[in-house]
């Protein structure tokens, strides 16, 4: 009997719109400890006004709300309330040297938390907002230090997802929102991923269906003389350069160690990682990887794979990934969540092409494949 195999299918229509995916319950609960997590389902295009109002009220009162953005699900708190933001770090087990992204409704709201608004910020905002782009700019003092890891800059983004935008409008405050998962673990692209990871640490989970981008936003630091891509995403460097001209790209720091603040989220050495160990391979190492997979299987370990081409190995579960970078990004985290849920101990991942549109996916896979090392900055 061969391995179980499935294709990482599309969850959205060809236009990238937020598909409803059929009829789902309006309200249900997850059993957690001695309380219940509120879990409310909304139409991703036309979210229920009462649910949105409730989410906004919770945020203004200092609570935590998990909600969909176009990239991944975020764990939101009032960005101007230091105590509320501290709950994010506690819920995720996230160290305070890792700054958060502040989500706002429009560029005007972004300027309200920025001490300066460079010309590069203006051009990038005009070109890519609302959308999966985060800008690092000098911050105003009204933004608490816990949001920015004590740095003099703040990361800001204007999301495009209708649910995120409705909640921002209802909350009437900027929302600090990292991915709604445990620190360094797989990001959630569906509400059930959030519930599984965070449980009763969240006051409300708003289920708006699968996210449409699937990996975290591109992050560009525009606070210095030359803009720098700190984290690649689905907006590739050539498109950014077309908007602003000169652009640098930060190099992944493999040194580890220390707890100095990161300039932006997602820059830690090991991140976006499933419970299973991730082994990357390319065409040159395909046969070696296949032999290694066979050795793991012979030891009784459950072995999975994310593949672009045939891979001759005894796999428990193989996921055929799309050859398009945007579709691959959209499918990536859910595929890894699926392999984790199947009990895979090791996952062999065929490295995507090195072309610029794949940079965000390659970054996530590279960090997920990094081993856990003692005293390393994670």
Domains defined for the chain, CATH in brackets: 27-249 (3.90.870.10), 270-368 (3.40.50.11030)
What is the pLDDT, as a whole number, of residue 192? Answer: 96
What is the pLDDT, as a whole number, of residue 4? Answer: 65
Distance, CA of 342 to CA of 87 (rounded, Å): 31
What is the pLDDT, as a whole number, of residue 378? Answer: 42
The answer on pLDDT for 173 being more than 90 is yes
The answer on pLDDT for 160 being more than 50 is yes
**Rounded average pLDDT over 33-43:** 71
The answer on pLDDT for 139 being more than 60 is yes
What is the pLDDT, as a whole number, of residue 346? Answer: 98
Distance, CA of 115 to CA of 118 (rounded, Å): 10
**Rounded average pLDDT over 334-338:** 97
pLDDT-derived band of residue 45, with 50, 70 and 90 as boundaries? very high
Beta strands in the chain (DSSP E): 4-7, 27-32, 35-41, 65-68, 73-78, 101-103, 133-138, 153-157, 175-176, 204-207, 218-221, 228-231, 248-249, 277-281, 303-307, 317-320, 346-350
Q: Which residue has the tokens 């907002």?
A: 129
The answer on pLDDT for 24 being more than 60 is no
What is the pLDDT, as a whole number, of residue 185? Answer: 93
Q: List pLDDT tens digits, range 198-207.
A: 998 999 999 9
Q: List pLDDT tens digits, range 245-263.
A: 989 888 655 444 444 567 7
Distance, CA of 85 to CA of 195 (rounded, Å): 19
Q: List pLDDT tens digits, range 46-93.
A: 999 999 999 999 999 999 999 999 999 999 999 999 999 999 999 999
What is the pLDDT, as a whole number, of residue 273? Answer: 87
Which is more confidently placed, 246 or 359? Answer: 359
Report how far apart the first and last C-alpha atoms of the chain are (Å, whole number). Answer: 40
Q: What is the pTM of this model?
A: 0.88
């Amino acid at each position: 009997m061969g391995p179980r195999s499935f294709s990482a299918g599309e969850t959205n229509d060809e236009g990238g719109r937020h598909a409803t995916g059929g009829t789902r319950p309006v309200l249900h609960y997850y059993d957690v400890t001695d309380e219940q997590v509120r879990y409310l389902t909304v139409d991703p295009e036309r979210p229920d006004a009462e649910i949105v109002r409730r989410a906004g009220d919770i945020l203004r009162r200092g609570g935590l709300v998990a909600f969909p953005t176009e990239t991944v699900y975020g764990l939101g708190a009032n960005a101007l309330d230091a105590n509320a933001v501290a709950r994010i770090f506690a819920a995720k087990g996230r160290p305070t040297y890792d700054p958060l992204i502040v989500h706002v409704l429009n560029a005007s709201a972004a300027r309200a938390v920025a001490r300066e608004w460079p010309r590069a910020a203006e051009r990038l905002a005009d070109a890519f907002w609302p959308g999966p782009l985060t800008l690092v700019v000098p911050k105003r003092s009204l933004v608490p230090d816990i949001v920015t890891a004590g740095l003099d800059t703040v990361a800001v983004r204007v999301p495009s997802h209708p649910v995120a935008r409705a909640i921002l409008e209802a909350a009437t405050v900027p929302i600090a929102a990292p991915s709604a998962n445990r620190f360094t673990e797989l990001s959630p692209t569906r509400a059930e991923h959030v519930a599984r990871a965070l449980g009763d640490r969240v006051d409300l989970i708003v289920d708006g269906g699968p996210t449409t981008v699937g990996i975290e936003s591109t992050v560009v630091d525009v606070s210095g003389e030359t803009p720098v891509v700190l984290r690649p995403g689905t907006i590739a460097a050539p498109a950014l350069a077309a908007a602003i001209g000169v652009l640098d790209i930060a190099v992944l720091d493999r040194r580890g160690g220390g707890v100095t603040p990161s300039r932006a989220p997602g820059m830690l050495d090991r991140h976006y990682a499933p419970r299973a160990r991730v082994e990357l391979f390319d065409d040159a190492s395909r046969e070696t990887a296949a032999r290694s997979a066979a050795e793991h299987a012979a030891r009784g370990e459950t072995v999975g794979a994310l593949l672009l081409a045939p891979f001759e190995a005894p796999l428990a579960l193989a996921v055929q990934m799309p050859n398009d970078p945007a579709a691959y990004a959209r499918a990536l985290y859910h595929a890894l969540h699926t392999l984790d849920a199947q009990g895979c101990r090791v996952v062999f991942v065929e490295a995507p092409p090195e072309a610029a549109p794949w940079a965000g996916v390659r970054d996530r896979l590279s960090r997920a494949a990094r081993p856990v090392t003692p005293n390393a900055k994670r």
